[in-house]
Structure 1
Amino acid sequence: MTAPRRLALAALLLLSTGAAARADDMPVIKVEMRDGVILPATIEVPANTRFKLEISNTGQSPVEFESLELKREKALAAGSTSAIVFRTLDAGSYDIFDDFHPEAKAKLVAK
């Protein structure tokens, strides 16, 4: 392998390692959705900070995590887990609901 290629490979490895470290440093907030229930009912997240919302569907039917204010939605099959990464959120309260179970509502509160 030529010297420039070794240098390029080393730089690429360094960059990918740095990105993985930053992803591991972000707060992870867990949310459970289960057949018409969102837990917790008040989801507290850090304001002005990048974070990951990990959503688990522990129920027997599909769910859809949705917020019109945040312009985010994520459908999950029964028994599955997925995540949404938020770059930052302004401090405030945002309505969350399950589009497949209209009675399921929660608040996402950024402080």
Structure 2
Amino acid sequence: MRLILAAGAAGMVLSPAAALAQDPVHLVVKNHHFSPDHVTVPAGQRFLMTLTNQDDTVDEFESYDMKFEKIVVQGGTITVHAGPLHPGTYKFFDDYHPDLATGTVTADGAAQEGTH
């Protein structure tokens, strides 16, 4: 019985990591522009996005489409959880500089189909 419980507990520890689509997507905001400003992720899977702020101001990483908003201080790095997303393109932006700092995430349905 203990062996079964230990095996079950080990599976629970591994499950959240296995549920992520890939390594985190790394973004930088500098001069009020994202780099890269477009990324592709598999549809139907959760993923992480990290953002490092190299601007000389505070920024607010936000997406109405992916339902997140998070402040990132000058020189700081934040992580947001996103997805799972249906196939399509989703926008993100810096709420303090929305005309300059914009980007997109494309959820690729072909990547999802290839995992079956």
**TM-score range normalised by the length of the shorter chain:** 0.7 to 0.9
What's the CA shift for 1:65?
Answer: 1.1
CA contact (8 A) 1:35 1:63 kept: no
What's the CA shift for 1:36?
Answer: 1.1
SS at match of 1:18: helix
What's the CA shift for 1:22?
Answer: 3.5
* Structure number, greater radius of gyration: 1
| CA gap 1:76/1:49 in 2 versus in 1, 3 angstroms | same
TM-score (norm 1): 0.75
| CA gap 1:25/1:97 in 2 versus in 1, 3 angstroms | closer
Is 1:106 the counterpart of 2:99? The answer is no
| CA gap 1:22/1:29 in 2 versus in 1, 3 angstroms | same
Q: Which runs of no fewer than 5 residues in structure 1 stay unpaired?
A: 1-5
SS at match of 1:60: coil
> What's the C-alpha RMSD, in Å, of the aligned pairs?
2.6
Q: Which runs of no fewer than 5 residues in structure 2 stay unpaired?
A: 109-116
Equivalent pairs: percent with the same residue?
31
Give the number of aligned pairs: 106
Is 1:92 the counterpart of 2:88? The answer is yes
CA contact (8 A) 1:35 1:101 kept: no
What's 1:18 paired with?
Answer: 14
Find the aligned partners of 1:20 and 1:89 in 2 and give their Cα distance.
17
SS at match of 1:53: strand
TM-score (norm 2): 0.72
